[in-house]
Structure formats: C-alpha cells, structure tokens
Chain A
C-alpha cells in the first residue's frame, strides 16, 4: 500500500476503535469504518444510501436525523449522547461528535461522526433521556393515530414522525409510514413537497384549498390541506403538523344542490308558461261569451261574467310575475347603453290611457339621460314601480303626480320614482321587498312586483330602497354602471 493513498487513509481510520460514520444529504449513510461495520453487522455496500439499519429503533433514528439536521443548518460540530443498537440487538450508549463536511463553496454537504462508549453514570443518564423521549413519542403517536382526521406530524426534514390511521386510509397506503420522507411516501398522491419546504423554511402557515389527491388505490378526492409549522423551545424549526380534510362529498353535494336548484327554476318557468297560455285563452273566451249575450241576461249573469274576467286577469298577472321571477334568476343578459328617456316613454305609452283617465301628472327629470346596464331588467323595474305608483294613487288627491328622476353618480346611476299616493304602511319598510307582500288590504296585486325589482337589482349588484314612505312615497334604485 502506498502511503497517503486512499487505501492507506482507509486503513488508518479502520485501525481506530471509535466508530467513524460519514453521512450525506438527508442523513443517508456514505461510508463507515471497520469498527462500526462490525458492530452493525453490515458491509460497506449494505450501508450505502440508507438512513439507518433495519435493526435500529426507528425512534432512535429520528433523533439521529434531527441531530444531523442541526449540524447541516449550523455548520458547527455537535456533541451528543446517543443509544446505538448493534446487530445482536443490544443497545449501548455512546458519546458522539458530529462535525460538518464543507465543500469549497463553504456549503455543508455531509457530516462525519465519531463515537466512543459512555461511562456507566453517563450511559444511565442517556438511557433515561431515551426513555423519556420514547414515552412522549408513544403518547404523541397514540393521539395522532386515532384522531378521526387525516393528520401527520413531520419533522424539519419532512419525515413523517407520526400519522393517523385516517391518513393512511385517505392516501390508500397499506404500510406504516413513520420514518418515511413525505416526498417518498405521499408526494405522488398529493404533491406538496415544494410548498411544504417553503412553509417550513419561513415558519408560515399554509392553506391549500381544493387540491386533488390521487390515492394509491385509485380513488380520487378533493381535499383542503392545512400545514402548521412549529418551532422548538429554542426557536429552531421543529417540524410541521399537516391536516388533510376530505371535502369530496361536500363538493359533490354542492354541485348536486346547484343542479337541483337550476332544475327547479326551469320547472318553475315551464310550468308557469304552460299555465299562462290556457289562462289567456280562457280570458279571451269569456270576453267572447260576454259579447254574445250582452244585454240579454240578468245582472247576476253579467256581474258573474265580469268577476270571472277579473279573476282570470289576476291569475294571469300572478303567473306572469312568477315567470318573470324565474327568468330574472336564469337570465344571462348582456349590458348595453340605452336611453332612459326612451325606456320611460315606452312605459308611459303603455299606461297612457290610465294616466289620462285619473288625471295623473307624470313628471320626468332625467339628469342622467343614458344608462349602461341590462336593459330588460331596468325596463321591468321601471314598469313595476310606475304601475305601483298608478295603482296606489290617492283618490282624494286633487292633483295626483308621479315623478321619475335620474342622477349620475360615481360608477353608478340613481333612479328615483316618487308619487303623492296613499303610500306604504308605517312599519312596512322592511317587508316591502319580500315575496307576496301586499301593503294594503283590498288592493289588487300579486305582491311580487317589488320582490322582482329587488331581485333584478341584486343581479345587477345594485340596490333598491324606500327613501320615503308617504307623501311622497319614494323608491330609489342604485344601478352600478356595467
């Protein structure tokens, strides 16, 4: 053997009775001297690349890795007392010094540890520490194993220290995972390593919502992942608790609810549509019949016919309203710029006769002449408010009026409809927009007009409110510009 050759150096280290153990990244074993190999009952080849021998107590291994990590992070040598179990199964306590192996760039790339057996008293102290550590770990594991959630605790290096049975079930894994790295055991099912590293490195909480987990048994789940890193008392990174919450069923039920809701809305619309057709036909036929017998029959007959017609009319209005509401929800309209003047003119022309008949003065002050929004919705709101104002006029008023005003605001348009009619009942202001609310007994109406207005405004992201209840009655619509 040539002096100073690698065989020579190896022979020198092999001559030492102390253990010499060299490890690389992630505590993987790289090289050990003869003393250690004999104690461990393994060859150099057996050792290469593993973290620890199978005959070792896994909890001891966890501690070795923790200590290695400290050397890696600090770059300083670390003196510890540790139990090492040999091939025979006997555990002996050693004093180990772990030093950092540093490359040319000054980065820690591995550790070299030397170990000498401890004297009796110190060995006992080491064993006591070990028992305490184990007891804590046993308690921790018991808790974690039986938590009815998929939970795992990871150490600073992302090795799984403990996990629940639920975790195994969710990931579809058969075997025990303690001691395995997350990257090796679980990354394929739920990619998390990069985010875990970031969270651990910065000691910040991580919430990952609606992630996809592909279990080993093929099952696909939607999950919410919560990572909570924790520090040790000396402020070093201790590890992290990871909780995986299975929300697959929740999301499925949500989807089902949405589907059912939509179906209901469609049903509502279809049924109303199928009802309104025949109702209109009945109305027309009643008209026809009444015309045929005009003057011939008794007052009771004509009274009855008249009421038949009116009742049918109410039914038609109600069903029309119900359809409008179903459509209001389902409608996907596009916004356009339209003239408010034209819209109002349309509405006025529809009610022209009634306005003239009762001498109602309709005043318009449209400071904002145009509006960019969903035309049909605004048209319906205006129609409902106007027809209400007409319907609830005060017959005692000498000069009944209705006023429509529009103002441009920042990012929105305000439209107000006011009248000097009979107004709203005193404590009605909160109920006014509710379904089937009818302010005055005996007044004809479905009670859905204002409800529909509030629905339309809700869809537009705007609002409707009662600014004044009585003399004047004033409604204010706030419509955001699209």
Chain B
C-alpha cells in the first residue's frame, strides 16, 4: 500500500487548506499533513529544519509540497526560485502546484520549473488525491 508520509500545504486561504486537508485525509494515505499560510514563513522553515521540526513535528522535510501561486508577500513562483537556490546538496523538494488559475501560460510556466512535478486546479478532488498517491506515494510496510 502506498503512502505519502508527510505533506506540506502552502496556501494563504484557510478555507482551501481546510478543504485540501479534508480531501487528502479521506483517502487515508496522507498520515501527516501540515500547512503554512505564507511563502516567507515556508522559506524560513525550509532554511531552519530544527525550528520546523519544533513547530510542525513529523513534517519536515516534507515528501510532497502542495503550493498555491497567489499569495501576498511571496507568491508561489518566487518561493520556487528561493527553494531552487537553496536546494544545494539537499534532496530536491517535490512540488505540486495547486491553484485556481487554469491558464495555459501559468500552467506552462509552472511545469517548466525543475521542482514542479505536477499542476492541479482547485478545488482538490478525490481523483486528484488518488493520483497524488499514485505518483508520489512510497510503499509502506
């Protein structure tokens, strides 16, 4: 059985976080889900793993990141740039963009980024969740 051990949702809209968490939890394959409402905060946690472990136990480093595009202070694309820069020798972050924009140009732009493995349009559906497990789940014994 495949599981996605830890998932980080980066999204400034609380209702969307609630929804995504509910949909993912329903599958029973996402044991640990955390969320951060702000790109700057997310970057902080990636840069300081000890603090991350303290605030969100079991979440860092996350197996999967669900990243929203439109956020104040630092949007999804900007966060991607920063993460790519700091990746260095660490394991690359796996990102799936989840956003309400379904425009060709945004999709193309997201898919072009090396860290982005897929693109989903809100709201997250049960099919989407199943697909995420298929793509990014690891065998748990």
A interacts with B = yes
Q: Which of B70, B103, B122 lies in contact with A280, CB distance below 8 A?
A: B122
Given A285-B19, A288-B19, A288-B23: A280 and B123 interface contact (C-beta under 8 Å): yes
Question: Is B122 in contact with A284, judged by CB distance below 8 angstroms?
Answer: yes
| Residue B102, interface by CB 8 Å | yes
Question: Is A376 in contact with B104, judged by CB distance below 8 angstroms?
Answer: yes
- Among B6-58, those with CB < 8 Å from A are 13, 15-16, 18-19, 22-23, 26
| Residue A339, interface by CB 8 Å | no
Question: Is B103 in contact with A288, judged by CB distance below 8 angstroms?
Answer: no
Report the tally of A-B residue pairs with Cβ distances under 8 A.
Answer: 46
Residue of B nearest to A276 (CB): B100
Question: What chain A residues lie within 8 Å of B122 (beta carbons)?
Answer: 277, 280-281, 284
Question: What chain A residues lie within 8 Å of B121 (beta carbons)?
Answer: 280
Count contacts on B: residues with CB < 8 A to the other chain.
20
A280-B100, A285-B18, A285-B123 known; 7 new pairs, CB 8 Å cut-off, are A284-B123, A285-B19, A288-B19, A288-B22, A324-B103, A375-B104, A376-B103
Bound-state Cα–Cα, A29 to B23, Å: 101
Interface residues of B (CB under 8 A from A): 13, 15-16, 18-19, 22-23, 26, 70, 100-105, 121-125
Question: What chain A residues lie within 8 Å of B104 (beta carbons)?
Answer: 375-376, 379-380
- Judged by DSSP, the binding face of A is helix
Question: Is A287 in contact with B123, judged by CB distance below 8 angstroms?
Answer: yes
A 380-413 binary contact with B (CB < 8 Å = 1; else 0) = 1000000000000000000000000000000000
Question: Is B13 in contact with A277, judged by CB distance below 8 angstroms?
Answer: yes
In the complex, 8 of the A-B residue pairs with CB atoms within 8 angstroms, ordered by the A residue number, are: A277-B100, A284-B19, A284-B122, A285-B19, A288-B19, A376-B103, A379-B104, A380-B104
Question: What chain A residues lie within 8 Å of B19 (beta carbons)?
Answer: 281, 284-285, 288
* A-B CB proximity, top 10 nearest: A284-B123, A376-B104, A284-B19, A277-B100, A280-B122, A281-B15, A280-B100, A280-B123, A281-B16, A288-B22
Distance from B102 Cβ to chain A, minimum over Cβ atoms (Å): 7
Bound-state Cα–Cα, A273 to B15, Å: 17
Residue of B nearest to A279 (CB): B100
Question: What chain B residues lie within 8 Å of A327 (beta carbons)?
Answer: 103
Bound-state Cα–Cα, A327 to B102, Å: 12
Question: Is A277 in contact with B70, judged by CB distance below 8 angstroms?
Answer: yes
Bound-state Cα–Cα, A273 to B101, Å: 8
Question: What chain B residues lie within 8 Å of A323 (beta carbons)?
Answer: 103
Question: What chain B residues lie within 8 Å of A284 (beta carbons)?
Answer: 16, 19, 23, 122-125
Residue of B nearest to A383 (CB): B104
Distance from A339 Cβ to chain B, minimum over Cβ atoms (Å): 15
Bound-state Cα–Cα, A320 to B103, Å: 9
Question: What chain A residues lie within 8 Å of B70 (beta carbons)?
Answer: 273, 277
Residue of B nearest to A274 (CB): B70
| Residue A85, interface by CB 8 Å | no
Question: What chain B residues lie within 8 Å of A278 (beta carbons)?
Answer: 15
Residue of B nearest to A286 (CB): B123
Distance from B12 Cβ to chain A, minimum over Cβ atoms (Å): 10
| Residue A283, interface by CB 8 Å | yes
Q: Which of B13, B23, B103, B105 lies in contact with A281, CB distance below 8 A?
A: B13
Bound-state Cα–Cα, A287 to B104, Å: 26
Bound-state Cα–Cα, A375 to B104, Å: 9
- Among A284-299, those with CB < 8 Å from B are 284-285, 287-288, 291
